[in-house]
Structure 1
């Protein structure tokens, strides 16, 4: 488990697509008057570089979705406070490996890479303040000499 494993619950307010040298999709999340920047890694540093994804439109997992709904807005420490939320989608049986697809980071053409898949979902959430985003991962930043 990550040393600084957290979950961030909030609403999305902005989206930025990084260039090919820094393959992340950055999303601005607002919670309790604090603005957070999350960076979705969309290309692995290790070979093979492409990531796997599953598109589950109506994800249901009663114990997980109920636990997420009651979380307070903002950062919650998973490691110390809620270790039951430390999820592994495949090992935990939430997603079957066979249901996942390779997602190239960026290809020319429409709807054929991870950016094309994620961007409309985030934009829809930005347009609807009732949509909550849940970001799992290691909390970081702010970074020296890199403005948020």
Structure 2
């Protein structure tokens, strides 16, 4: 059964929180022209092995990017099918399972867990006032209560920012093609004195659970 409110959020990130607690998620506070959102990314599996599979592609290139550039700011619902901006790890040849790695979500020391790798790239986007995020997943809310992590009202945002097919049987009711989640970060080209100092860059964060099966 497909996700009910699948789509992509295009917005400006303004804050972040590392994942903590029993079901930890890394949270990003993002805004468009008039609305606040929370993007929640799983950093630990609640079923089976506690480590996730992840891939951070810091030089991501794909024909999909042209479609993303054309999207307006805010949440854009996407039909679960090819031809639009929906994601499918398997059918769209975004990546293979062999490219993904396991990583603990929270261990002592710098830059050696998933929270800290997310901090590395999200932190860079927070420092670049022109950077944008594209968060793929299912929308939740609006709920007319303060967001529990960032305090804005009404609480709304994107979750299930991970592969959403081939799941453990306990979660298989939400399985479906062309509805995978991911976080993409866009960094604009920087030109100084008529010369390109930094080229445009896309960074893609892909997340899956160890128990998921990869088959079309």
> TM-score, normalization: structure 2?
0.62
Give the number of the structure whose residues are more often strand, by fraction. Answer: 2
Report the Cα distance in structure 2 between the residues aligned to 1:115 and 1:137, rounded to whole angstroms: 19
Structure with higher RCO (Cα < 8 A, 6+ apart): 1
Q: Does 1:94 align with 2:94?
A: yes
- 2:64 paired with 1:38: no
**Does the 8 Å contact 2:80/2:86 carry over to 1?**
no
Q: Which has the larger radius of gyration?
A: 2
Aligned residue in 2 for 1:114 = 114
Structure 1 stretches of at least 4 aligned residues deviating more than 3 Å after TM superposition: 80-83, 142-148
Distance in 1 of aligned mates of 2:28 and 2:146 = 19
CA distance in 2 between counterparts of 1:34 and 1:18 reads 23
Paired residue for 2:5?
4
In structure 2, the gaps of 5 or more residues are 152-216
Q: How far 1:83 sits from its partner (Å)?
A: 6.7
Kindly report which structure 2 residues correspond to 1:1-148, keeping only aligned pairs within 5 A, or say none: 1-62=2-63, 64-79=64-79, 84-143=84-143, 147=148, 148=151
Question: Cα 1:46–1:11, aligned 2, differ >3 Å: closer, same or farther?
Answer: same
Q: Please, which runs of 5 or more residues in structure 1 have no aligned partner?
A: none
* C-alpha deviation, 1:145, in angstroms: 7.3
TM-score by length of 1: 0.88
CA distance in 2, matches of 1:82, 1:96: 18
After superposition, the Cα gap between the structure-2 partners of 1:69 and 1:112, relative to the gap in structure 1 and judged at 3 Å, is same
Which protein has the bigger helix share? 1
CA contact 2:19–2:43 (8 Å) conserved in 1? no
